A and B are shown apart, each in its own frame.
Chain A
Amino acid sequence: MDILLSNLPGLLIAIPLLGAFITPILSRAGDSIRTTWILIITTLTSLCGLLVASRVLESGPLVYAFGVDALSHVIPPDSGGIPIRIIFTIDPASAFMLIIASIVGFCITLYSISSMEKLSGKDGFYTLLLLLIAGVYGMIATGDLFNFFVFLEISSLAGAALVAYRIDKGVAAEAGLKYAALSTLGGMLFLVGIGLLYAQYNSLNMAVIADRMQLTSLDIIAFVLFFTALAMKCGAVPMHFWTPDSYAMAPSAITAFLVVSSQASLYALFRVCFTLYGGQINPLTVGWIIIILGVLSMFVGVTMAIPQKDVKRLMAYHAVSQTGYMLLGVGVGLAALSSTCLSQSVGMMALKGGLFHIMNHALYKGLLFLTAGVIMYRCGTRNLNQLGGLGHSMKWTMVFFMIGSLAIAGIPPFNGFASKLLIYESTFLFNPILAVIAMVVSILTLASFVKVFHSMFMGPVLPEYQDVKEAPMPMLIAMGILACLVVLFGLFPQQVVDMLVAPAASALVDYHGYISAVLGGA
């Protein structure tokens, strides 16, 4: 038991990878065995993620090196202070992301079990799903740049294959190709950046590089490459064109997790800005670049969403718009923390708002995509002009959709309000115009979702949807978990901020803590 507990960070990757590759073999034994296997594996993975996160939140950053039994062997005495092994570094900011991935990962697997029930090709689907989960966990937990690249590629390859999984007369393949090509190009940019840093600092470990960072002109080139690659992967506006296509064409459960995988890239972007280049880059310049990306994403996302007729494409554009809020919050945080005329608390508040919004977004956006998936599953179409009157027969789905759309529009008492309030308040003190833009975007979001709600659920029962039934039980449970969390986080935002978000925000800011956790205070 002890040996399991001390190797939890390793198991975080090992369980889903092992599960993924055993799935096709077990599938030979029958559908029910595979279903049980998938459920066991995801439950274990999520449990593992939550356990690791709770240990980190209790006792500070966790450093785990593969292949050694004692932590003192992480840095061999003859290596000149360089950790040579593959090292996972999980600090409160990673723990925060782990919690998101665990919750959403469990819900989408539960959901896929009924949404995939009547379809073929389940072996490949579940294998890729587990690989996607493993890739995202790896991106969050790793403390090594090259390792991050490998997990980035695992998650983008699995993601692209899943986007194209239901070919849908070639349209999904088109979306998958777009996603795969862009991710590969992004990954290559990232690898060039890694090469540039490795050539100068002789290490791939983030803590070592952060410790030795000199900010030469090569480092700045590497920073630009990292920034571009990760901003592309998280769907910020000038590089957002893959998002609506792949989010709309992927199976709904996958879309909900693609949102988490984009947010893992967002987390890596913040990690690069705050930890890898901590205290070295000009916070005001980089902060404003992030703010501008954020404002553009918010505005372009929401304006593109309003005229959409495909409900999932509409939600995908809203996902771009909500990513803008996270970028805005964290960008303001970065800029305000360095500012002399604003107090530190403004910057911290903005940072907390941005991070809290990541968690809230994963929950309510996941919920919304899952409700869209239910409608697709029961009615066979995503076109808003053809849908209508579903509120009579799908009461629970309607309630869940209502919770999700009120949360995304930032209406109290749902969780979107709590994080948006933090962003509004701090941004207003930093620059009032930004806060006004953020509020206008929120109102447009509300308008757009009112339209969707009305055209899907309201009105008389349409003849073609007369015998539409409520979603099957596993789907309802998966959506119910997310909906409960959306409401709970909205009712008790202060407790969540104190317990999860504040440690994550201070861990991001405190790059000395990250370095000394790995290098042992050297």
Chain B
Amino acid sequence: MIDNLPFLVVAGTIMIGLYAILMKKDLIKMIMGISLVESGVNLFLIALGYRWDSIAPIFTGAPSLAMVMPTVQALTLTSIVIGVATLALLLSLVMVIYRYYHTTDVRKVTKLQG
């Protein structure tokens, strides 16, 4: 049970993020939701590679052979960098929208329909 705790947290974070994306009516809050989903996915990748009682994967003079999986950490780093770029782009688009519409309410940002 305690081993699965990280995955439960992951599921919780992603669910809260999806809730924010689907239910909130404010663009900034929806983007917060997207960011939460991203964090959940990153946590998921890190949790996959973790082993109990293990050391960092450096072979020189290693005290034991149980090591944390380094690949997923590399994946997570890449994914964090991509996440930052996406978040910056999304927020700057919201800024542009706010400048022209004077609102960030999704019910009023609806010039494209039909």
Contact = CB atoms under 8 A, between A and B. Distances in A.
Pair from one complex: yes
B109 A146 contact: no
For the residues of A in contact with B, the DSSP-based class is helix
Contacts of A173: 93, 96-97, 100
A44 B11 CA distance: 46
B34 interface: yes
Interface string B20-42: 01000001001100100110010
A130 B95 CA distance: 25
Contacts of A178: 112
B40 to A, nearest CB: 8
Interface residues of B, number: 33
B44 to A, nearest CB: 5
B65 interface: no
Contacts, number: 88
A187 B34 CA distance: 11
Contacts of B72: 195, 198
A150 B78 contact: yes
Contacts of A244: 112
Contacts of B41: 188, 191-192, 195
Nearest to B88: A157
Contact of A181 (B90, B96, B101): B90
A171 interface: yes
A173 B109 CA distance: 10
A194 B41 CA distance: 11
Contacts of B56: none
B44 A192 contact: yes
Interface string B71-99: 11001001100100110011001101101
B94 A170 contact: no
A186 to B, nearest CB: 11
Nearest to B42: A191
A187 B114 CA distance: 27
Interface string A176-187: 111011001101
Interface string A223-251: 00000000000000000000011001100
A170 B100 contact: yes
Interface string A133-163: 0000000000000100110010001001100
Interface size class, chain A: 35 or more
Contact of B97 (A149, A150, A160, A170): A170
B45 interface: yes
For the residues of B in contact with A, the DSSP-based class is helix
B38 A170 contact: no
A389 B13 CA distance: 57
Nearest to B82: A153
B99 A170 contact: yes
A171 B38 contact: no
A167 interface: yes
Given A170-B96, A170-B100, A173-B93, A249 B112 contact: yes
B48 A199 contact: yes
A381 interface: no
A219 interface: no
B97 A174 contact: yes
B37 A185 contact: yes
Contacts of B107: none
Nearest to B109: A174
A170 B75 CA distance: 35
Nearest to B85: A157
Nearest to B110: A174
Contact of A174 (B86, B90, B112): B112
Contacts of A191: 41, 45, 79
A175 interface: yes
A146 B96 contact: no
A198 B48 contact: yes
Nearest to B46: A195
B37 A188 contact: yes
Contacts of A194: 75
A188 B38 contact: yes
Given A174-B112, A184-B86, A195-B41, 7 more contacts: A153-B82, A160-B89, A160-B93, A173-B93, A173-B97, A173-B100, A184-B34
12 contacts: A161-B89, A164-B93, A169-B100, A173-B96, A175-B112, A177-B27, A178-B112, A181-B31, A188-B37, A191-B79, A192-B14, A195-B45
